[in-house]
Structures are given as C-alpha cells and as structure tokens.
Amino acid sequence: MKILVVHGPNLNLLGKREPEIYGNFTLDDINSKMRELGQELGVDVSFFQSNHEGEMVQKIQEAMGVFDAIVINPGAYTHTSVALRDAISSTGIPTVETHISNIYRREEFRKHSYISGVAVGQIAGFGPDSYLLALRAAVGQAGDGRKK
C-alpha cells in the first residue's frame, strides 16, 4: 500500500520560525516519524512539499493509479483553494486533511476549509501527532485497489 503525504506552503519553515505557534519540530522530524510509523504499519510513505498551488494540484493528479490514499496539510491553501479541492475530488483517492493547529480555535478566516468537503475526514490540533493520526486514518481508508 502506498500513501502520499502532501505538505503545503510555508510548512518547510517548521522549527525555524514562529515556534510559539507551530512548535520546535521540523518538517524532516515529522516525515521521519511518519516513515517509522509507515514501516510499523507495513505501508510505503512518500513525501512532497510545495509553496506553489499548481505544483500541489499536479502532484495530486499524478497520484492517480500510484497511491492508495493521500494525507494532506494544505497550509493556507486550506482556506482559499478551489483548485486543490477539485484536484482531490477528481482523483477519487481517499484523502485525509490534517493540521498541526486546531484551526477552529484560531482566526475566523481559518475556520473554513475548502478541502474538508472532499476529504474523508480531518484531524487538527494535535501538533505533529496530527500527521501520525492522519496516516493511521489514511491506511484505514485506503481501498482494496492496493498499489504494491
């Protein structure tokens, strides 16, 4: 089983800026923990980060026929991107939306997600553990059409 993890804009800055909001862990720390959990669960986990909406759309389109499920933290595009929503919806790949922070406890503009309506579910607010919970959820949601 193959799982794609997509990290959106500015998440490459984790651990380097604003630790009071997003913590001290880096994106590499998160990816390492996910890789370890993937080994435990017996699934292949691949990672992609981009600061560009179009590149994220492209990667999601290319996931068709390759990946069984997607874990995505769309970053700020969560609150703006119809293009990402359409990409997820058109691939039909089960997608779990995740956020480090609890977006419902923050500014009003973060309370709306364009992604949640096409995701199988959303996990938010557990810091880096959100990603690990999302990976478990994605493995559970991945269909029978497993890519070996």
Give the footprint of ligand CA2 on this chain (CB under 6 A).
10-11, 13-14, 17-18, 22, 73, 75-76, 78, 99-101, 103, 110
The residues, any chain, with a CB within 8 Å of residue 137's CB and separated by 6 or more, are: 96, 120, 121, 123
- Distance linking the first and last C-alpha atoms of the chain: 6
Q: How far is the CB of 65 from ligand CA2 (least distance, A)?
A: 28
Active-site hit among 22, 77, 114, 131: 22
Q: How far is the CB of 118 from ligand CA2 (least distance, A)?
A: 16
Active-site hit among 7, 77, 99, 131: 99
- 104: three-class secondary structure by DSSP: helix
Can 114 be counted among the known catalytic residues?
no
Which residue's structure tokens are 């996910």?
A: 34
Considering the complex, state which of residue 1 and residue 7 has its C-beta at the smaller distance from ligand CA2: 7
- 88: three-class secondary structure by DSSP: helix
Can 99 be counted among the known catalytic residues?
yes
Q: How far is the CB of 10 from ligand CA2 (least distance, A)?
A: 4
As a whole number of angstroms, the distance between CA 140 and CA 1 comes to 11
Residue 57: both structure tokens together: 């759309």
Tell me which residues are annotated as active site. Answer: 22, 99
